[in-house]
Chain A
Amino acid sequence: MSTAVLRFENVSKQFPGVKALDGVSFEAHAGRVHGLLGENGAGKSTLLKMLGGQYRPDGGRLLLNGRPCDFHSAGDAIAAGIAVIHQELQYVAELSVAENVLLGRLPTRFGLVDHAEAQRRVAAQLAAIGIELDPAARLGELSIAQRQMVEICKAVAQDAQVIAFDEPTSSLSHRESEILFRLVHALRAEGRTLIYISHRLEELYALCDSCTIFRDGRKVASHAVMAEVRRERLISDMVGRELSDIYDYRPRPAGQRRLQVHKLRSQALPHGLSFEVRGGEVLGFFGLVGAGRSELMRLLYGADRRRGGQVLLDGAPVSAAGPAAAIAAGIVLCPEDRKEQGLLTQASVAENINISCRRHGLLAGLFLRHRREAALADAFIQRLRIKTPHRRQAVSLLSGGNQQKVILARWLAEPGLKVLILDEPTRGIDVGAKNEIYRLIHEVAARGCCVIVVSSELPEVLGIADRLIVMRDGRISGELPRAQASETAALALALPDPACSDFCD
């Protein structure tokens, strides 16, 4: 076994009111990928920020090649040969790939930036790690996956010995993830030390040699050989309890037809899409990124302009005037991007729950009834087990799973709820919170509501939905009842059909 390149010894970190890390020790070796597992709030991100020089440990120490490190800034960590690829990528959208990679170290000639030289150097770097990208392209024009590649190229250009990834696949499509995995393997083969954080167990099994599991800021276990650890064991270690079936699906009787979508069209979806949902049914939507699932949901919700078609709820047409009209009819949406589209990040938990607050009983004439608002918020914080110190806590300080629950609470508090649409409801959320969200979905369905779940995670939609609709290139490519829905059947419908591509468009 190789020597430990990176070692955490008894590291602790205290934030006001929370012990984020409590005496954590583990090590990572050259030429190996070490996975970090744990629910949100378990301490993984704090650890990475410490590695990246953003936080300093309160206790314990960090050793690189046997020497203790004391990072005061992100610059110190980079100088020591550590690169952290954060979930939220850090780049300058207006600058080119080459400029981003070499930012701070741009080659100059006569005091001016030597663009030709910069692009030549970066092109060589990109070629070396096998990425096809134009070094002159502006970062803002690239896809998220490509921006991530640039970030990795930057780490390699800085000759980082240790590269840490924080949930790198959370916003990548299937195919983009494959490219990332190949890159991780290549970096490993070069003898670099890799740290990898993800919530997707399949991915961790495929990539990691060893792993450490965290819970509530403490280390639960380290495994030198990841492949020998059983999946159930990993999950129960992370969650702290047994989770037999995280999807919690139980067959239920199908109700009456409630929602009918007929030839719905928009600028982004010109083909006219039709489908139906029964009361008490959970309908899954699957497709590759760009297949038009989110666009269809936004259109159904009135967030995008309708060009044609009709939506009927219990036989009555639903106005296309906008989200406010959809909500009035009983259709609500938990959007794909929680931060940008879902949350009022500066506001409190209670304000986020109560925002669509023309609710019965919360108003006395023109005026808000603060007591009732508070009581309603508290009731939902308890019912959905939202982990927050108080309803007045800023929602931005909550973990992803709890933020999602806040948005769910907003809609579950809606007395006229009939159709609940969830777009990627568990993206970036840990296993325990996922399970709670699935149970809420089943609970809403049991009330006789229609639930539509859009997800790029195939096991998830297969696990919770009664029926699956697959989309491809802005069209509905097929429909699978639960009994016939398998990964192969769904993927066959989702992937582009080479025989057809000659005729379509």
Chain B
Amino acid sequence: MNASTLTPLPTLPARPWLKEHSMTLGYLLLFLLLSALVENFFTAANIVGLMLSVAQIGMVACTMMLCLASRDFDLSVGSTIAFAGVLGAIILERSGSLGLALGGGLLAGALIGAANGMLIAYLRVNALIATLATMLMVRGLAFIVSRGQAVGIASEGFIALGDSQLLGLPLPVWTSAACFLVFGVLLNHTVFGRNTLAIGGNPEAARLAGVRVERLRVWIFALQGLVTALAGLILAARITSGQPNSAQGFELDVISACVLGGVSLQGGRARIFGVLIGVLIMGTLENVMNLLDVDAFYQYLMRGLILLAAVLLDQLKTRGGQHG
């Protein structure tokens, strides 16, 4: 935070530090507690595994954050992951060209996103309905192009996307970190990010202030599609095949992570660091439950409870800020 250079305006009373960072502190506490109590949790192999397990969610959470911040919603990301993976695998199989496979997958993702954006921005379809429709259609396309079968990947180059290491960390973790960096800068330091928050906060006021609201929405969704497709290709590389039925329910995990990270579903409010913490909380809990051999059925229950708890905490925080 830089001090005002020009004027002697009094500074704001410092925001209650604890309130601002409650989620981060909560996570740190959880992490320390788990390191002390859960066997095998705080080991290099487990931490790397944890990060790898949330790499896809992390990437897509970055763009989902923009989407939610602009008061929209995207349910189609799970299907896009599957479709991009399957498409990449098929193009690779037919052409043998890594570049074509990746390019094709990414282009398809961006087009799906842009289509979502146009439906929502120009044809004024409710975002929930529009992306629910594309979610079904894209999942259908994934099954159609693969005839319902997993498409195997044999190319070393493609598989390297998923399992090569850099400075001791797997490539997907680096990609995810890069996404957080790029989208953090985009959100906080560009007109694009500023306008995204503006159209989420008050779309009509933003339009009258000169923001090209429709065009911006299309861009946000196109970016979302592009990043999701990249996540899909990386997932396909990791499991060495394009699976048409992969990543079911993925969209809900991503939205949960964003909400845990304090992104407002009413739009206008988002912090990249919060989203990072949200993603880590999701990953850590799943990791620990696996280490403790918690039954998969109970894992669903736990995830739901954690999400509710986080949202209620947030409610209490905002309510505390009002007078009367």
Residues of A with Cβ closer than 8 Å to B?
A: 15-17, 49, 54-55, 301, 303, 322-324, 326-327, 333, 335, 340-347, 351, 354-358, 363, 366-368, 370-371, 374-375, 378-379, 381-382, 389-393, 410
Q: Are A367 and B7 in contact (CB under 8 A)?
A: no
- Chain A residues closer than 8 Å to B204, beta-carbon distance: 340-341
Cβ contacts A to B, 27 pairs, < 8 Å:
A49-B324, A55-B324, A322-B207, A324-B210, A327-B210, A335-B205, A335-B208, A340-B204, A342-B205, A343-B205, A344-B198, A344-B201, A344-B268, A345-B202, A346-B202, A347-B197, A347-B201, A354-B194, A358-B191, A366-B191, A368-B190, A375-B5, A375-B6, A389-B10, A390-B9, A390-B10, A393-B12
In the complex the two chains form, what is the Cα distance from A503 to B197 in whole Å? 51
In the complex where A342-B208, A355-B198 touch, is A371 in contact with B191 (Cβ < 8 A)?
no
Q: How far is the CA of A367 from the CA of B208 in the complex (A)?
A: 23
* In the assembled complex, B94 has its CB within 8 A of some CB on chain A: no
Which residues does chain A contribute within 8 Å of B206, judged by CB atoms? 344, 355
With A15-B323, A367-B185, A374-B2 already in contact, 20 other A-B pairs whose C-beta atoms are closer than 8 Å: A323-B209, A326-B210, A340-B205, A344-B205, A344-B206, A345-B201, A347-B201, A347-B268, A355-B194, A355-B211, A368-B190, A370-B189, A371-B2, A374-B6, A375-B5, A378-B4, A378-B7, A381-B7, A389-B10, A390-B12
Residues of B within 8 A of A (CB): 2, 4-7, 9-13, 185, 189-191, 194-195, 197-198, 201-202, 204-212, 268-269, 323-324
Docked pose: A393 CA to B212 CA in angstroms: 26
Contact between B211 and A391, CB atoms less than 8 A apart = no
Residues of chain A within 8 A of B5, CB atoms compared: 371, 374-375
> With A378-B4, A391-B4 in contact, do A363 and B191 touch (Cβ < 8 Å)?
yes
The listed residue with most A CB atoms (<10 A of its CB), out of B197, B202, B209, B212, is B209
A378 to chain B, nearest CB (A): 4
> Pick the contact of B9 from A345, A346, A381 — CB < 8 Å?
A381
Q: How far, in whole Å, are A347 and B9 apart by their CA atoms in the complex?
A: 19
B110–chain A nearest beta-carbon distance, Å: 19
A55, closest chain B residue (CB): B324
Are A368 and B189 interface neighbours, CB within 8 A? yes
The complex places the Cα of A86 from the Cα of B197 at a distance, in Å, of 31
Q: In the complex, A153→B324 CA distance in Å? A: 26
From A17, A341, A390, B208 is in contact (CB under 8 Å) with A341
Query: Taking CB as reference atom, which chain A residue is nearest B197?
Result: A347
A122 CB to nearest B CB, Å: 30
Known: A340-B204, A344-B268, A347-B198. A355 touches B7 (CB 8 A): no
The listed residue with most A CB atoms (<10 A of its CB), out of B202, B210, B211, B323, is B210
**A335-B208, A390-B12 known; A368 and B324 CB under 8 Å?**
no
Top 6 A-B pairs, shortest CB-CB distance: A356-B210, A327-B210, A344-B201, A378-B7, A390-B12, A346-B268
Whether the Cβ atoms of A367 and B190 lie closer than 8 Å is yes
